[in-house]
Chains A and B, each alone.
Chain A
Amino acid sequence: MSKVLVVTSGKGGVGKTTSTAAIGAALAQTGQTVVVVDFDVGLRNLDLVMGAERRVVYDLINVVNGDAKLAQALIRDKRVEGLSLLAASQTRDKDALTLEGVTRVIEQLREKFDWVVCDSPAGIEKGALLAMYHADLAVVVTNPEVSSVRDSDRIIGMLDSKTAKAERGEKMEKVLLLTRYDQARAARGEMLKVEDVLEILSIPLLGIVPESEEVLRASNLGSPIVISNPLSAPARAYQDAVKRLQGETVTMHIPVERKSIFAKFLSWRVA
């Protein structure tokens, strides 16, 4: 049974694309077939974060319009078996995506893959609505910061009212992925704590991804963090999150960076 997952947040820059790439790659690393789909028409970036920007020939809109077959538009990842990408178009025409078209493509993807991971654009416009419409499960990416929490609350409201599941009267499953978390700052009262965000948004926690330099390194390299540095703290957080998505019970903890004395010495020298 294939599962459609939307990675959404309302606010931009909180880590939707990074998380989509990491979750997609981590799922594929467990041996399942996965496609990550970029819904950010006009501002595609998942291709770049996945390191496939030079291999995009056809995109989601080409498939929707029938200019390309789905198989032609899917880009297979060269590092992880079973992982594919469907890029967004760079057209400026925001109406290029239609509900009928998206419905058709998602149906086809469901037949081919165990997991369809949709990377939502920021905002609450058509693109974000189409990305979430067919989801079975929503991963709400939130930073421990007031504007991000507010926008997530808004998105949760839309997930409960504007999706196919909601229209059928079913309950939309939503989980929280807290990113850029700094445990030390939260402990000092400088940052919202995990419990604060959970209490305010009242959805279950999927994982806590700590703030880390490794995330930028991964995007610089065009490699999902679970591939570029699988032992890093954020990668371990994504691996745990994926186990939870697959139904495993994994104790919740915030992974910490294991720095060697040599690395500490280096960073001290550079600073």
Chain B
Amino acid sequence: MNMSLFGFFRARNTAPVARERLQVLLAHERAMIGGSDLAAILREEILAVIAKHVAIDQEKVQVKLDRGGSVSTLEIDIEMPALVGAK
């Protein structure tokens, strides 16, 4: 617990945070239940394209997703075998 005076006041106004988190989350979930989770579709297709050219070790793939209000980011980090670049 932050005992500073500033922290004390700031910690109490959490309702606006709740409101914003819900608005962003529900916008995505409503779209998802409608059957179009864009981020998930992109992730699958991008990985499929890469797998056509490179043998991907699933252990070495990192997918990060950040669903935002106006912008979402999909970050795919794939470790490629050394010989791919030397072709």
Residues of chain B from 27 to 71 with CB closer than 8 A to chain A in the complex: 29-30, 33
Q: Which residues of B contact A191 (CB under 8 A)?
A: 15
A80 interface residue per 8 A CB criterion? no
Contacting pair B22 A149 (CB below 8 A): yes
Distance (Å) between the CB of A11 and the closest chain B CB?
A: 13
Contact partner of B23 (CB less than 8 A), chosen from A154, A188, A190, A200, is A200
Query: Do A190 and B30 form a contact, CB below 8 Å, given A146-B18, A149-B22?
Result: no
Task: Answer yes or no: B12 CB below 8 A from chain A CBs.
Answer: yes
A186 touches B22 (CB 8 A): no
Secondary structure type dominating chain A contacts: helix
Please, which residues of chain B bring their CB within 8 A of the CB of A244? none
Considering the complex, give the chain B residue whose CB is closest to the CB of A161: B33
- A189 with B30, Cβ < 8 A, contacts A146-B21, A150-B25, A200-B23 known: no
Chain A residues whose CB sits within 8 angstroms of the CB of B16 once the complex forms: 189
CA distance A193 to B19 in the complex (A): 9
Residues of B near A157 (CB, < 8 A) are 30, 33
The verdict on A196 contacting B15 (CB below 8 Å), with A146-B22, A150-B22 known, is yes
A189, B15: Cβ atoms under 8 Å?
yes
User: Which chain A positions have C-beta within 8 A of B73?
Assistant: none
Complex-state Cα separation, A191 to B22, whole angstroms: 13
Task: Answer whether residue B2 sits at the interface, using C-beta atoms and an 8 A cutoff.
Answer: no
Interface size on B, residues (CB 8 A): 15
Known: A189-B12, A190-B12. A150 touches B29 (CB 8 A): yes
A188 to B12, Cβ gap below 8 A?
yes
List of A residues within 8 angstroms of B19 by Cβ? 192, 196, 200
Contact with B15, one of A150, A154, A190, A200 (Cβ below 8 angstroms): A190
Residues of chain B lying within 8 A (CB to CB) of residue A114:
none
Q: Enumerate chain A residues within 8 angstroms of B33, measured Cβ to Cβ.
A: 154, 157
Cβ-based interface call for A38 (8 A): no
Asked if B5 is at the interface (CB within 8 A of a chain A CB), the reply is no
Q: Is the CB of A153 within 8 A of B15?
A: no
Considering the chains assembled together, what is the distance between the CA atoms of A157 and B26 in angstroms? 11
> Could you say which residues of chain A place their CB within 8 Å of the CB of B22?
146, 149-150, 192, 200
Measured CA separation A140–B82 after assembly (Å): 57
B4 adjacent to chain A (CB < 8 Å):
no
A190 touches B13 (CB 8 A): yes
Q: Which residue of B lies closest to A185 (CB)?
A: B15
Q: Write out the residue numbers on chain A whose beta carbons fall within 8 Å of the beta carbon of B23.
A: 200
Q: Shortest Cβ distance from A172 into chain B, in angstroms?
A: 16
Interface, chain B (partner A; CB < 8 A): 12-16, 18-19, 21-23, 25-26, 29-30, 33
11 residue pairs from A and B, CB less than 8 Å apart: A146-B22, A149-B26, A150-B26, A150-B29, A154-B29, A188-B12, A192-B18, A192-B19, A192-B22, A196-B15, A200-B23
Q: Which 10 A-B pairs have the closest CB atoms?
A: A189-B13, A196-B19, A189-B15, A146-B18, A153-B26, A192-B15, A200-B22, A192-B18, A190-B12, A149-B22
